[in-house]
Structure 1
Amino acid sequence: MAKAKKETKTIHDFSKYVRWFWMVFLGGILFVFLIFFMTSIFGDLPDHTVLENPKTHLATEIISSDGQTLGKFYLNDNRTPVGYDELPKHLIDALIATEDARFHEHSGIDARGTLRAMLALGRDGGASTISQQLAKQLFTGVASRSTIGRITQKVKEWIIAIRLERQYTKEEIIAQYFNIYDFGNNADGIRSAGRIYFGKEPKDLDLKESAMLVGMFKNSSLYNPRPHRNPVGVRNRRNVVLSQMEKYDYITETVKDSLQKTELDLDYSPESHREGIATYFRGYLDGFMKDWIKNNPKPDGTKYNLYNDGLKIYTTIDSRMQKYAEDAVQQHMPRLQAEFFNQNTPKRNPTAPFLELTRGAIDTLMRRSMKQSERWRHMKYDLKKADKEIKASFQKPVKMSVFAWKDGKASEIDTIMKPIDSMRYYKSFLRTGMMSMNPQTGHVKAWVGGMNYRHFQYDMVKQGKRQIGSTFKPFVYTAAIDQLHYSPCDEFPDTPFCIEANKFGNPEEWCPKNSSNDYGGNRTLKNALANSVNTITARLIDKVGPQTVADLVKKLGVESDILPVPSIALGTPDISVYEMVGAYATFANQGVYTKPVMVTSIEDKNGTILYQFKPETRDVLSDETAYVTVKLMEGVTQGGSGTRLRHSWAKNKPDYKEVITGYPYEFTNPIAGKTGTTQNQSDGWFMGMVPNLVTGVWVGAEDRAAHFKTITYGQGAAMALPIWGLYMKSCYADEALSISKEDFEEPKNLSINVDCSKHTSTTTDDDSDEDTPEDLDFG
C-alpha cells in the first residue's frame, strides 16, 4: 500500500514537472512571438533599407601610383573596408573558433548557446553570435546598465541579427564584422589594425598575428597591444584563441604549442595625420581636396565629406621613391645639423644661431616671430587675452616635447622650457624641401616638405619660397640660346663687366663680381655655367634683357613675381621648389612645359570615378634650345660644382668632413644640373636631371640670418646636393623603377654645336664655385 502511494506520488510529481516544462516552453514561444511582433515597445528598429546600407564612417584613402596606401583622412573612424576574399582563412577560422563555433549552423541566434547562457545566468558568457555582435556594433550601441535595458537590447540584437542573416550571406557578415570593429589606437576595422599593429595588409597576416587581433574582440581596450600597455595580457588572450582553434580542429596541437611560445612581434606603426609616409604631401592634398569638394557637389547637391565618405584618391606619388627621398633627408640632415651646431656654440657665436645681427635686431626678429606664432593667435583670438599677458606667457617655463636629432634619427626630448626659448631653439634647425617629377608626364613621384611634420609643419615644397641663387642662371642662358642662337662652345671674355645705370630701369650701375675675384682669358658658356661665372651671366642678360628672361620664366610655370632687373641673373627672386622642378622639367621634356600632377583620379566608395585629371601642357622652347640648355647643365656635373657626384670627393679633399662630401655616389651616367647658393649662404639648392626624372632640393634655416659662416659648408653643393645623390643612388638600386641612365634625346635637326671637345677652356679648380656674399648685389 505504501509502495503504491509512493508510486502515485512519484507519477504526480513527474506530471507536475511535465506541466511546468510545457508551460515554460509554450510561454517562451509566446514570449518570443510577442517580442518579434510587438517590437514597438522596444523603440525603433532599422528597416530593410538601413540594413542594406548601414551608416558607418569610412576614411578617405590616399593611394600611391604603385598601389600602396600613403595615408588616410579621417576624424574619428580610420576605417577602410575590405572584402571577404581579402581575409586569410586562418583569420576567419580564429574568429569562428573563438566567438561563434556554430556560426554556419544557425540563422542569427544560437539556441544551444542561448539556453546554456540562461541556465548559467550569464556566468559563462552571453552566447552572442557573430551576427548579434555585428547588430550591436551597427545599430544597438552601448548596453544599458539596468536589467530591463539589457533584456531590451538583447532582444533588439536577436531581431536585427535574424534580419542581417536574411539580408546578407555568411561571408558578408564576417567581412562586415571585421570591418566595423574598433581595434583601438585609430585601428578602425581589420585593414587599419593590420597596418598599424603589424605593417601588413589583412591578406598578409600570419596565423599568430590573426589570433592576436581576434583576441582583441573580447575587449580592445583591455587587450591593447600598444607597446608597454598590456603585453602579457595580450599574449595570454592570443593563446586562448590558438587553443580554441586547436579545440575545433582548425590547427594541430603541435602548431598551437609552438605558436603559444612565441612573442607578439608587433610592428607598431601609428597612423595619424602627422605620422607615417608622405606627411607633407598629405598636408598639401588636404587643401587640394577641400577645394575640389567645394566645387564638386554630389548629384543630390550635398557636399562630399572628406573624412566620412570613403573616397579613394589616386596619386602620382610612388611609395618606394617617396621612402628613398625621406631616407635621403634623414641621412644627410642630422650630419649637416651637427656641423651647424658645432659652428654655432655660444663661445664661437654669441648670437647663435644668428649671424650679422645685433642683439636689438634679434629682439625685433623674435618679437615678430612671437606675434606670428600659434600660441599668440590662440591666446589673442580664442582666449581674448591682452598683449601684455600674452608676452608674459612666453617667459614662463612649461613642459614640452621638442624635436631633436638623436643617433642620426628624428626624435623628441621631454623638457621644461620657456616658449620664447623654444622658438629660438627651433630657429637653429636647418630645414629642407624636395620634389621629384617625371618630366614627360608631369607626375610628381616624391614630395618631402621638411624633416618632421609633427614639429615643422610649414611645407617647403610649395608653400615656402626662397632665393634661388645660381639655379636661376640656366634661364638666362636659355634666353640667350633661344634669342641669339648661342652655342655652349661660344666664348666670352672673363673680365669685369658692368651694366650702366638706368639701363633696364636699374637706377644704379650694376657690376657683379666673380667668386674668386680672379679674371682673365675667355670661357665657353658651358665652362662659365659650370663654374657659376657671374660676369658672363651678366653679359648674357645685358644682351637679351631682363624682361625677356622674366617672361621666359613665367612661361616655364613660375608664378612668383619676377622683377625684370639685371640682378635676377644671379638668383635674387624667391621661388618654390615646386615651381623650379616644373621649370627645369621643361628642358628634359624637349621644351614642352607640363604642369606638375599630383592626383590622377578620385573615386567614391562604390568605385565611381568622380574626377580624372587632364594634362596641362604648352610649348615653351624649341626642342633644340631645350637640348642645348641640357648639354650646358651637363657641364656642371662634368667639371663644376656637381663633379662630386662622379666620385667620393673626400678622398681628394681631406679637409672636408664626410658630412659634406664623403658619400660615395660615383655616378657614371649623364646628369644635368645646377647648384645654387644665396647671399651669406642662407639658401643652398641643387637641381638635378636625368631623362625621365627631375628633382629639386633646397636647404636652409627658417630665418636667413641663421646660416653657415663660410661657403665651405654653406654652398648648395654641400647642403642640398648630397640629398639628391643619396636619393638617386637608392632609385638606381631599385631596378623596378626604371630610372634612366641613358643620354638625353638629341633633336633630329640639331644645328647648334654642343661638342666643345675641340675648344680649349680655362676651367678653374676652385673648391667653391658658388655665389659668395661679395658676388651678389641685391641692392
Structure 2
Amino acid sequence: MATATKKKKKSNNNFFKFIKWFWILFFIGVISGVMIFLLASWGAFGAMPEYERLENPQTNLASEIISSDGETLGKFYLDDNRTDVAYEELPKTLVQALVATEDARYYEHSGIDARGTLRAFAYLGKKGGASTISQQLARQLFVGVRSKNIFETITQKIKEWVLAIRLERSYTKEEIVKMYLNIYDFNYNADGIRSASRIYFGKEPKNLKIEESAVLVGMLKNSSYYNPIRREELVLNRRNTVLSQMAKYDFITEKQKDSLQALKMDINFSPESHREGLATYFRMYLQGFMNKWIKKNPKPALKGESDQWNIYLDGLRIYTTIDSRMQRNAEDAVAEHMKRLQAEFFHQNTPDRNKTAPFIEEVPGEIAGIMERAIKSSHRWHNLKDQGKNEKEIRASFNEPVEMTVFDWNSDTKEKDTLMTPMDSIKYYKSFLKTAMMSMEPQTGHVKAWVGGIDYKHFQYDNVIQGARQVGSTFKPFVYAAAIDQLRLSPCDALPDNRYCIEANKHGNPDPWCPKNSDGKYSGEMLTLKNALANSVNTITAQLIDRVGPKAVVSIAKNLGITGDIPEVPSIALGTADLNVYEMVGAYGTFANQGVYVKPVMVTRIEDKNGTVLYEYVPETKDVLSKDVSYAMLDLMSGVTQGGSGTRLRTTGAEKYRPEYKEIITGYPYEFKNPIAGKTGTTQNQSDGWFMGMVPNLVTGVWVGGDDKAVHFKTITYGQGASMALPIWGLYMKKNYANKDLGVSEGEFEKPENLSINVDCSKTSTAEDNNIDLEDDLDF
C-alpha cells in the first residue's frame, strides 16, 4: 500500500514537473519570439527602415509623357520603367488572381499567416511557402534578394515578418496590393503592373482580361523563369495553375476555368525603350526641355534629399500637345513616301549611273572633305584614339570589313545584318535622304506632330529643331507680306516677268543682282502677284524686295518668330537663309491665325507623382500683321495649290509600275477639294525640298534632303519640293481627314469683315494665267 502511494505521488510530481517545464519553455519561447521581433525592430539583424520611410516608401518612378488625347507617348527612366497605378484602376480579377495564388487568407491575417507558416515548417516548404503578400512587399521594398546563407536567410525572414506587420498597421489591404503590383519587376523594362500590361499585352491594366491577369500573376513567382517571351509553354501551364486557384477559391466557376485554360496566350509584346515607339524625336527634344526646366525650378525637398527634380526617378507627369493619332499619321506618311523616294534615289545613283554616288560633286575636293569630316567625327575614330592607336592604324581600320547592323527600308524591322567596311558604312548612311515634319494648331500654338527624321535608332539628329537648311521659295511669302503690308498691294496687282536687276551698292548689295527664273526664261507678260507666287517667279519677288527693301522683310520674318540669321541683302528673297522647320511652321501659323503670331508650344503642364501642378504653360503671342494682310496672304498661297507647284494636291497621278518598288505606285492620290494654302520650296542643285501647307486649324511644314548638300537628285523632276516634301503633307492630311474625331478643318479660311484688300482677281486682273507646268513625269 505504501509502495503504491509512493508511486502515485512520484507520478503526480512528474506530471507537475512536466506542466511546470511546459509553461517555462512556453514562456521562454514567447519571450524569445518577442525578443527576436524586438531585436529585429531595433536593428540587431541589420538596419531597419525608419517609420517615416514606412509611411512613404521610396521607389524609383519613371516620368510619363502624356499626349493631348490621353495616351502615353513614352517614359523617361534609367533602370526602373515604373508608373504607379491606383487601386481603382486595377481590374478586380487581377486582384482575385493575386490573392488566390499568393495569399488565400490575405484578408484574414495581419501580415503573417500563422497556418501557412506552421504548414511550411511541418512540410519543410514542400506544400508551399508561407510568405504573405505583405511579406513579399516588405522584401521588395526593404529586405532585398534572398541570401543563400542559411543564417542570413533566417534573419531576412524575421525582418520580413516585422516589416509585414508594420506595413499592415500603416496601410490598408488595398494599398498593400497596389504597392506590391506597382513595384514588381516583370522583366524587359516592365517595372510594375502598368508597364507589364503595356509591354506584354499592349494595353492599360484596367483593360486586362482574366486570362491575361493570370499570366502576369503567374510571373510573380519568378519573372525571369516564367517568361512568356522565352518559355511560352511553361508560362501557359503557370497561367492555368493560377486559373485553377481562382476556381478553387470561387473567384471563377469551373466552367469559366475550363474555357479560359483552353485559350492560347495572346502575347502582344511591345517593348518600351528610348529609341523605339511613337514620337521618339519629340521625346528626345522633350528631355532637353525638361533638363532646362529642372535647372530653373528647384524641388521642395525634405532634409537629406536632393533639391533637384529627377525625370528618371521622381515620377513626373508631363502633359504635351502632341496628338498620338496625328503623330502616328505623320510617322506613317513619312515612312510611306520616304521609302519610295529613297528607292528612286538608289535607282538613280547606282555605280554605272553615278560613279561618285551617293554624292554629286559641284566643287572640286568637296567629297573628300565630306568623308574626312565624317571619319574624324565618328565614334570609331574617337574610341581608337582613346585606346592610344596612331592615325595610320585608325585609318587602316576603316577599310577592314566588320559585321554590323544597319538601317534598311526594306526590312520589317528596318534593320539588316551585313558585312562592310566602316568607310563603306559612312557612304551607305550618307546616301539616305532625311526629313523633318512638324504640325501645329495656329490658334493655340499647340504642336500636334513632330517627326525629326526617318528612324531615331539609326539617325538621331533631329531635323525639326536642330537642323537649319536653305528654305528656298518658302521664304517668298515673307517678301510678299512685307509688300502687301507696306505698299498696300493686293494679290491681283501685276508686275512684268522680265529680266530684273538690283544695281550694285543698293540695299547693301556689293554687286548687281539679276536673279533668273527656275527655267532660265522670262515670259515678258504681266503677272498678278497670286500667279507669280503660285509659280515661284523669281523676277517678281526681286521687284518686290527692291521696293520694300531687305530690312523690312527681315523685320517681318523676325516678328514671325524667326530667330535664325538672315542677312539684309536682296538675295534672301529667294530663300538663301538657313532656317529650321520649327520656326517656319510658327511663322506660317501667323497667316492662318489672322496675323497673330503664337509661339509653338509642346508642354502644357507638369505634375509631380501626387498630381501637384508644378508648371502650366502661358501662351506667348504677338500681333504682327493685320487681318486683311493675313487673309490676302492666304489667298495668295491658295493659288499654289490651285494653279501652281502644289496643284497635284487637287489631282490624281497616273498609276505606274516601278520594278524597284515591286508594286504599282499611284502618282499623287490626294484629290483634296477643300481650301489649302501653301508654298513649295526648292534650293540650288535640288539639295533641299520644302512644302508648307495650311488649312484653317492646322499648319504643317515638311523638309526633305540629304545630310550633305552634295547628296541630291540630278534633276528637278524628283529634286523639287513638290516631289520630295509635298507628298508627305498630302499623305498625312489624307490620313487625318479619314479620322473625323481629329476635327481637322475642311472649311474656308475666316474672311475679315469689310476686307480692304481686293482678292477677287477675276474682276481686276490685267494678266492672263500663265502657269508653269511642273507636273510632267513625276511619280509622287
Partner of 2:223: 220
Q: Deviations over 1:724-751 (max 9, x none)?
A: 1111111112111111111111112311
Partner of 2:256: 255
SS class of match (2:238): helix
| Contact 1:660–1:713, Cα closer than 8 Å, also in 2 | no
1:73 aligns with 2:76: yes
SS class of match (1:299): coil
Partner of 1:585: 589
| Stretch moving more, 640-649 or 660-669 | 660-669
| Stretch moving more, 8-17 or 569-578 | 8-17
Please state how far the C-alpha of 1:15 moved relative to its aligned partner. 11
1:295 aligns with 2:301: no
**Distance between the aligned counterparts of 1:232 and 1:221, measured in 2?**
14
1:615 aligns with 2:619: yes
| Stretch moving more, 645-654 or 63-72 | 645-654
Q: Deviations over 1:741-776 (max 9, x none)?
A: 111111123111001123364434544289xxxxxx
Partner of 1:148: 151
Please state how far the C-alpha of 1:357 moved relative to its aligned partner. 5.1
Please state how far the C-alpha of 1:111 moved relative to its aligned partner. 0.5
**Distance between the aligned counterparts of 1:350 and 1:359, measured in 2?**
15
What does 1:619-698 correspond to in 2, within 5 Å? 619-650=623-654, 662-698=667-703
Letter in 1 for 2:271: P
| Stretch moving more, 514-523 or 308-317 | 514-523
Please state how far the C-alpha of 1:441 moved relative to its aligned partner. 0.6
Q: 1:23 to 1:336 in 2, by over 3 A?
A: farther
SS class of match (1:501): coil
Please state how far the C-alpha of 1:299 moved relative to its aligned partner. 2.9
Partner of 1:370: 375
Partner of 1:33: 34
Letter in 2 for 1:509: P
**Distance between the aligned counterparts of 2:102 and 2:515, measured in 1?**
79
Please state how far the C-alpha of 1:649 moved relative to its aligned partner. 2.5
Q: Deviations over 1:162-186 (max 9, x none)?
A: 0100100000000000000001000
Q: Given the alignment, which residue of 168, 171, 192 partners 1:168?
A: 171
| Contact 1:650–1:656, Cα closer than 8 Å, also in 2 | no
Q: Given the alignment, which residue of 122, 133, 143 partners 1:130?
A: 133
| Contact 1:410–1:452, Cα closer than 8 Å, also in 2 | no
Letter in 2 for 1:104: Y
**Distance between the aligned counterparts of 2:266 and 2:734, measured in 1?**
32
Partner of 2:470: 467
Q: Deviations over 1:216-266 (max 9, x none)?
A: 10111111223xx21111212111111111111111222222222222211
Please state how far the C-alpha of 1:23 moved relative to its aligned partner. 7.2
| Contact 2:347–2:660, Cα closer than 8 Å, also in 1 | no
Superposition TM-score, scaled by structure 2 size: 0.93
| Stretch moving more, 24-33 or 473-482 | 24-33
1:457 aligns with 2:472: no
Partner of 1:560: 564
| Stretch moving more, 294-303 or 241-250 | 294-303
SS class of match (1:214): helix
Superposition TM-score, scaled by structure 1 size: 0.93
**Distance between the aligned counterparts of 1:556 and 1:383, measured in 2?**
49
Partner of 1:527: 531
**Distance between the aligned counterparts of 2:181 and 2:21, measured in 1?**
43
**Distance between the aligned counterparts of 1:184 and 1:434, measured in 2?**
35
Please state how far the C-alpha of 1:665 moved relative to its aligned partner. 1.1
What does 1:44-193 correspond to in 2, within 5 Å? 44-193=47-196
Please state how far the C-alpha of 1:419 moved relative to its aligned partner. 1.7
Please state how far the C-alpha of 1:660 moved relative to its aligned partner. 8.0
| Contact 1:660–1:719, Cα closer than 8 Å, also in 2 | no
Partner of 2:769: 763
What does 1:385-424 correspond to in 2, within 5 Å? 385-406=389-410, 411-424=414-427
Partner of 1:319: 324
SS class of match (1:697): strand
Q: 1:572 to 1:358 in 2, by over 3 A?
A: closer
| Stretch moving more, 423-432 or 395-404 | 395-404
| Stretch moving more, 757-766 or 584-593 | 757-766
Please state how far the C-alpha of 1:501 moved relative to its aligned partner. 2.0
Please state how far the C-alpha of 1:143 moved relative to its aligned partner. 1.4
| Contact 1:466–1:574, Cα closer than 8 Å, also in 2 | yes
Gaps spanning 5+ residues in structure 2: where?
Answer: none
**Distance between the aligned counterparts of 2:373 and 2:345, measured in 1?**
24
Q: 1:653 to 1:528 in 2, by over 3 A?
A: farther
Letter in 2 for 1:567: S
**Distance between the aligned counterparts of 1:456 and 1:668, measured in 2?**
36
Partner of 1:776: none
| Contact 2:697–2:744, Cα closer than 8 Å, also in 1 | yes
Q: Given the alignment, which residue of 353, 361, 364 partners 2:358?
A: 353
| Contact 2:680–2:692, Cα closer than 8 Å, also in 1 | yes
Please state how far the C-alpha of 1:477 moved relative to its aligned partner. 0.7
**Distance between the aligned counterparts of 2:20 and 2:259, measured in 1?**
54
Partner of 2:430: 427
| Stretch moving more, 365-374 or 614-623 | 365-374
Partner of 1:775: none
Letter in 2 for 1:105: E
**Distance between the aligned counterparts of 2:668 and 2:660, measured in 1?**
12
1:501 aligns with 2:507: no
**Distance between the aligned counterparts of 1:131 and 1:651, measured in 2?**
66
Q: 1:625 to 1:659 in 2, by over 3 A?
A: farther
| Contact 1:547–1:564, Cα closer than 8 Å, also in 2 | yes
**Distance between the aligned counterparts of 1:348 and 1:481, measured in 2?**
47
Aligned residues: 761
Please state how far the C-alpha of 1:349 moved relative to its aligned partner. 0.9
Q: 1:654 to 1:610 in 2, by over 3 A?
A: closer
1:699 aligns with 2:700: no
| Contact 1:644–1:661, Cα closer than 8 Å, also in 2 | no
Please state how far the C-alpha of 1:20 moved relative to its aligned partner. 9.0
1:266 aligns with 2:267: yes
RMSD: 2.6
| Contact 2:531–2:771, Cα closer than 8 Å, also in 1 | no
Please state how far the C-alpha of 1:26 moved relative to its aligned partner. 4.6
SS class of match (1:550): helix
| Contact 1:81–1:189, Cα closer than 8 Å, also in 2 | yes
| Contact 2:656–2:666, Cα closer than 8 Å, also in 1 | no
Q: 1:572 to 1:10 in 2, by over 3 A?
A: farther
Q: 1:654 to 1:626 in 2, by over 3 A?
A: farther
**Distance between the aligned counterparts of 2:775 and 2:495, measured in 1?**
18
Please state how far the C-alpha of 1:298 moved relative to its aligned partner. 1.5
Gaps spanning 5+ residues in structure 1: where?
Answer: 771-779
Please state how far the C-alpha of 1:30 moved relative to its aligned partner. 3.0
| Stretch moving more, 660-669 or 397-406 | 660-669
Q: Given the alignment, which residue of 591, 599, 605 partners 1:601?
A: 605
Q: 1:117 to 1:59 in 2, by over 3 A?
A: same
| Contact 1:183–1:193, Cα closer than 8 Å, also in 2 | yes
Q: Deviations over 1:347-377 (max 9, x none)?
A: 1111111113588432221011112223334
1:571 aligns with 2:572: no
Partner of 1:773: none
Q: 1:531 to 1:523 in 2, by over 3 A?
A: same
Please state how far the C-alpha of 1:302 moved relative to its aligned partner. 1.3
**Distance between the aligned counterparts of 1:653 and 1:241, measured in 2?**
55
**Distance between the aligned counterparts of 2:276 and 2:125, measured in 1?**
43
SS class of match (1:268): coil
**Distance between the aligned counterparts of 2:174 and 2:592, measured in 1?**
52
**Distance between the aligned counterparts of 1:111 and 1:73, measured in 2?**
42
Please state how far the C-alpha of 1:307 moved relative to its aligned partner. 0.8
| Contact 1:686–1:720, Cα closer than 8 Å, also in 2 | yes
SS class of match (2:700): strand
Q: Deviations over 1:433-461 (max 9, x none)?
A: 00000111111111000111100100010
SS class of match (1:649): coil
Q: 1:713 to 1:232 in 2, by over 3 A?
A: same
